[in-house]
Amino acid sequence: MNNLNLHNFIKLKKEYEKVLNFNIIERCNKIVQAGAYTLATNKNNRVILSSSKFPMQFSDESVKELLKIKWESPNDIKPTVKVYNVKDWYGMKKEALDTIIDFYSKKN
C-alpha cells in the first residue's frame, strides 16, 4: 500500500472521529445496513443501496418502514439487514480503520 492510500485512511478516520465527537440529539440517528451497503434514498425518494462514506441517517419511524422491504435478487440471496445507532456505526468503522492504519504503518 502506498503512502497516499494510508493518508486517505487516516483522513477518513479523522472525519469519523469528528462525527463521533459531535454531541447533538438527532431525530434521524439510525443507519440501516444491508449486506455491505447502507440504505439511502434517491432524488425520486426511492430506497437504494449506497456505499457512501457518510451514509444517510433515518428516524425510528423510517427504519420501521425500511425493515418491511422484501429483498429480491436473481440468485435468491437476501442480504442481512442491520440497524445501527449513528455513533455505533461510525465507531465500528473507525475501529476497522484503526486496524488497517496500524497494520500498514507497521509494514512501512
* Domain coordinates in residue numbering, the chain: 3-107
What's the per-residue H, E or C state across the chain?
CCHHHHHHHHHHHHHHHHHHHCCCCCCCCEEEEECCEEEEECCCCCEEEECCCCCCCECHHHHHHHCCCCCCCCCCCCCCEEEEEHHHHHHHHHHHHHHHHHHHHHHC
pTM of the predicted model as reported, rounded to 2 decimal places: 0.84
Among 70-74, 81-85, 88-92, the range scoring the smallest mean pLDDT is 70-74
Instruction: Tell me the pLDDT band of 1, cut-offs 50, 70 and 90.
Output: low
Among 32-41, 87-96, 99-108, the range scoring the smallest mean pLDDT is 99-108
